[in-house]
Chains A and B, each alone.
Chain A
Amino acid sequence: QKEVEQNSGPLSVPEGAIASLNCTYSDRGSQSFFWYRQYSGKSPELIMSIYSNGDKEDGRFTAQLNKASQYVSLLIRDSQPSDSATYLCAVRVGGYQKVTFGIGTKLQVIP
């Protein structure tokens, strides 16, 4: 079982819709969770971090964490064509410096 699992996609949503990206992780000791966005040909950039159960909102982005289900998600409201990118889920196990990434989900927002 992979440490961090994501569906590679592509996930296609129409402009203005809500995009829902999902991630599961295997290590119950995981304490820190991150979403990175990577445009084609560019490096990943951090867009959200979440450390406790529940929702965290930042503009059009909402990260959701459910530690009991070992599940992290990212919602993008009012999706724009500029949101088209690969979204990487990353996890850090408590007490360790190592950060493990999923393979990423490619999102396509159709105008």
Chain B
Amino acid sequence: DVKVTQSSRYLVKRTGEKVFLECVQDMDHENMFWYRQDPGLGLRLIYFSYDVKMKEKGDIPEGYSVSREKKERFSLILESASTNQTSMYLCASSLVGAGTGELFFGEGSRLTVL
């Protein structure tokens, strides 16, 4: 059974803190994605990675960075958390080529920044 695991389901952080969200997939997928989901705005792409150490900005990369040191792991970093980064964060993975777009999602990490 395919699996994308996000390390934390719920986090509460303070403004200015550094936040790490981790995601691990066991499907040997090349692509990994970080989205945030907000009411009325839908899913918005933050960053994605198509290979180890490779990354591409999505639609809303400001205030975020990512790291992909191993194929199975993709981390999202908030260098200095702000209240407008309170959101649900979803990690996903997929194959490259024709399989791209057939995303498998993790359970999500709900981040609250106070």
Please list the residues of chain A having a beta carbon within 8 angstroms of any beta carbon in chain B.
8, 32-34, 36, 42-46, 49, 51, 88, 90-92, 97-104
Contact = CB atoms under 8 A, between A and B. Distances in A.
A105 B107 CA distance: 20
A11 B43 CA distance: 20
B74 interface: no
Contacts of B40: 8, 103
A88 B101 contact: no
10 contacts: A34-B101, A43-B106, A44-B43, A44-B103, A88-B43, A97-B100, A100-B59, A103-B40, A103-B41, A104-B42
Given A97-B96, A98-B48, A99-B33, A46 B103 contact: yes
Contacts of A44: 43, 90, 103, 105
B100 A88 contact: no
Interface of B: 31, 33, 35, 40-45, 48, 50, 56, 58-59, 90, 94, 96, 98, 100-108
A102 B43 CA distance: 7
Contacts, number: 60
B42 A97 contact: no
A102 B42 contact: yes
B61 to A, nearest CB: 12
Nearest to B32: A97
A32 B33 CA distance: 17
B42 A92 contact: no
A32 B105 contact: no
B103 A99 contact: yes
A91 B101 CA distance: 7
Contact of B102 (A46, A98, A102, A103): A46
Contacts of A97: 31, 48, 50, 56, 96, 100
Nearest to A6: B42
A33 B100 CA distance: 10
Contact of B105 (A43, A49, A92): A43
Given A43-B90, A97-B48, A98-B56, A32 B101 contact: yes
